[in-house]
């Protein structure tokens, strides 16, 4: 009778460990295939195929100076005390809402507005939207200022996709323009961070811009600024 | 292959890694209090220890391939903190792979330092994901670290998977022992 060989036992144990690890990985792989949800179509939801971006087609009422009509606003820099976009006419953009209806944001309609840009995956937008929703339930927008929303930078697979489900889930009531895959509207308005606010007066000119989470008081100040 | 399947597979591997890490910590703590658990720990170390260095190298390789899949195939662009974690993880494949082939247990120190740094960055990334205000008050539209490309089982995001990998590597490096043939004692 021979005595047990420790080296052989160690090799056998080593082989068994690797076989066990391999088996577990195979089982997990099969389980992943079995349990993974279908990815569905590759079509990106919550995005407009293309949006039209252009300068204001007519000079705002009461003004004749068309030199300030811009194709795009300069990129917002929160560190600047004097925003170069202030006084510029906003670009006119036409796209679709989530239902596929045409929607236009323009300085030509003679209405002051606050334009909110959100991204479904942005945690700060995810906090700002319900905050504003609750606030607007208590303090609705004044009749002379319109709140418009642009859903942009859609990232399939990221948090809260698709954006329409997220905004509907939050009970968001303001009209929403779905930006295209190139975020053309966001770029035209000079977006540099989310959430992003562009305040426009009744003449279609930028009064103020802001980015990041705002308090309800700060939002109310933007609305007042839009009223002039 | 479908991205959902692959990310779920990675999440399952990460969960398995977490279970192993928790079991290792329980075994280690229990061994301080109970002689029976201490004997069990020694038995596990005797079996796993000689293979641990190679297993750590394999974990680093799987994590590396996983991160490359997520960026190059699934097209989830790595953010700044992701890159720092990659800087810690990718060299581990070479450091631990060569160490396993040469049976060089001295590489445990280098490996532990890299894995420890990577784990710290993963924890910070998880905090930024959970508490975005830690990063800034707004989201970078290009490639923010707070974006969650993957969230499996309601909690497991990409930095969570990376942390699981780093933690398992640390546990395996702590468990690494020479085989009985190499250790005359």
Q: pLDDT tens digits for chain A (228 residues)?
A: 444 565 666 677 778 888 888 888 888 888 888 877 554 445 667 776 667 776 544 433 333 333 334 568 999 998 898 999 999 999 999 999 999 999 999 999 999 999 999 999 898 999 999 999 999 999 999 999 999 999 999 988 778 899 999 999 999 999 999 999 889 999 999 999 999 999 999 999 999 999 999 999 999 999 999 998
pLDDT of residue A11: 72
How sure is the predictor about B180, in pLDDT bands with cuts at 50, 70 and 90? low
What's the N-to-C CA distance of chain B in angstroms? 49
pLDDT of residue B64: 97
> In chain B, where are the structural domains located?
3-173
Question: For B61-85, what is the mean pLDDT?
Answer: 94
- Test B9 with A29 for CB contact under 8 angstroms: yes
Does residue B61 sit at the A interface (CB-CB below 8 Å)? no
* CA-CA-CA-CA dihedral for B24, B28, B29, B32, to nearest 10: 160
Residue B75 CA to residue B93 CA, distance in Å, equals: 23
| Count of beta carbons in the 10 Å neighbourhood of residue B2 | 14
Does residue A151 sit at the B interface (CB-CB below 8 Å)? no
Token output for A163: 């954006």
Token output for B98: 């060569």
C-beta separation of B141 from A193 below 8 A: yes
**What single DSSP character describes residue B79?**
-
pLDDT beyond 70 at B139: yes
| Mean of per-residue pLDDT scores for chain B | 92
pLDDT of residue A43: 64
Which of B46, B58, B141, B145 to mutate to test binding with chain A, by most A CBs within 10 Å of its CB?
B141
What does residue A50 show for φ and ψ, rounded to 5 degrees? -155, 150
CA distance to partner chain B, nearest, from residue A34 (Å): 8
What's the pLDDT tens digit per position in B96-133?
999 999 999 999 999 999 999 999 999 999 999 888 77
- For residue B137, which residues of chain A lie inside 8 Å, CB to CB? 124, 212-213
pLDDT of residue A21: 85
- Kindly give the interhelix angle for B35-68 and B80-102, rounded to the nearest 10 degrees: 120
Reading phi first (left if > 0) and then psi (alpha if -120 to 50, else beta), residue A111 is in beta
Residue A6 CA to residue A14 CA, distance in Å, equals: 12
How sure is the predictor about B184, in pLDDT bands with cuts at 50, 70 and 90? very low
Fold of B3-173: Bromodomain-like (1.20.1550)
Which of B10, B132, B137, B138 to mutate to test binding with chain A, by most A CBs within 10 Å of its CB?
B138
CA distance to partner chain B, nearest, from residue A147 (Å): 20
Does residue A215 sit at the B interface (CB-CB below 8 Å)? no
Of the listed ranges A49-58, B15-24, B151-160, B168-177, the least confidently predicted one is A49-58
What's the pLDDT tens digit per position in B30-63?
999 999 999 999 999 999 999 999 999 999 999 9
Does residue A123 sit at the B interface (CB-CB below 8 Å)? yes
- For residue B157, which residues of chain A lie inside 8 Å, CB to CB? none
Which of A27, A123, A128 to mutate to test binding with chain B, by most B CBs within 10 Å of its CB?
A123
- For residue A35, which residues of chain B lie inside 8 Å, CB to CB? 8
ipTM score of complex? 0.71
Q: How far is CA A212 from the centre of its chain?
A: 12
Residue B81 CA to residue B35 CA, distance in Å, equals: 43
What's the N-to-C CA distance of chain A in angstroms? 102
How far is residue B6 from each of residues A21, A83, B13, B60, measured CA to CA in Å?
A: 18, 46, 11, 17
How far is residue B185 from each of residues A196, B178, B180, measured CA to CA in Å?
A: 67, 10, 8
pLDDT of residue A91: 95
Reading phi first (left if > 0) and then psi (alpha if -120 to 50, else beta), residue A46 is in left
**Based on the number of CB atoms within 10 Å of its own CB, is B18 exposed (0-12), middle (13-18) or buried (19 or more)?**
middle
Handedness of CA B97, B98, B103, B106 (dihedral sign): negative
pLDDT of residue B148: 85
pLDDT of residue A135: 97
Q: Name the closest residue on chain A to residue B145, using Cα atoms.
A: A122
Q: What is the 3-state secondary structure (H, E, C) of A136-182?
A: HHHCCCCCCEEEEEEECCCCCCCCCCCHHHHHHHCCCCCCEEECCCC
């Amino acid at each position: 009778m021979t005595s047990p060989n420790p080296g052989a036992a160690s090799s056998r144990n080593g082989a068994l460990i690797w076989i066990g690890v391999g088996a577990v990985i195979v089982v997990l792989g099969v389980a992943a295939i079995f349990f993974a949800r279908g990815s569905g179509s590759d079509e990106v939801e919550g995005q407009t195929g293309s949006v039209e971006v252009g300068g204001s087609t007519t000079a705002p009422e009461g003004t004749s100076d068309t030199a300030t009509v811009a194709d795009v606003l300069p990129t917002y820099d929160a560190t600047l005390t004097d925003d170069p976009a202030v006084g510029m006419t906003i670009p006119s953009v036409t796209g679709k809402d989530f239902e596929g209806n045409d929607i236009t944001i323009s300085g030509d309609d003679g209405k002051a507005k606050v334009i909110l840009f959100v991204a479904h995956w942005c945690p700060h937008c995810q906090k700002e939207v319900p905050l504003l929703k609750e606030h607007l339930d208590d303090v609705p927008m004044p009749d002379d200022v319109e709140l418009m929303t642009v859903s942009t930078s859609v990232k399939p697979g990221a948090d809260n996709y698709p954006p329409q489900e997220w905004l509907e889930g939050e009970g968001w009531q303001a009209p929403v323009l779905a930006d295209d895959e190139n975020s053309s509207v966001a770029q035209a308005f000079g977006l540099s961070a989310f959430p992003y606010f562009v305040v426009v007066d009744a003449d279609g000119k930028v009064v103020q811009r802001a980015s990041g989470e705002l308090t309800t008081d700060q939002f109310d100040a933007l609305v007042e600024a839009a009223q002039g | 292959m479908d991205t959902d399947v692959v990310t779920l597979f990675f999440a399952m591997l990460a969960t398995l890694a977490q279970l192993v890490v928790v079991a290792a910590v329980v075994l280690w703590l229990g061994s301080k209090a109970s002689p029976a658990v201490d004997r069990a720990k020694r038995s596990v170390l005797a079996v796993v220890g000689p293979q641990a260095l190679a297993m750590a190298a394999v974990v680093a390789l799987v994590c590396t391939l996983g991160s490359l899949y997520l960026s190059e195939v699934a097209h989830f662009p790595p953010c700044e903190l992701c890159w720092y974690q990659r800087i810690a993880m990718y060299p581990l494949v070479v450091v631990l792979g060569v160490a396993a082939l040469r049976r060089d247990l001295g590489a445990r120190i280098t490996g532990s330092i890299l894995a420890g740094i990577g784990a710290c960055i993963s924890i910070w990334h998880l905090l930024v994901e959970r508490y975005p205000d830690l990063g800034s008050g707004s989201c970078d539209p290009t490639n923010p670290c707070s974006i969650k490309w993957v969230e499996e089982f309601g909690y497991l995001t990409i930095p969570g998977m990376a942390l699981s990998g780093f933690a398992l590597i640390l546990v395996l490096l702590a468990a690494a022992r020479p085989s009985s043939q190499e250790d005359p004692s």
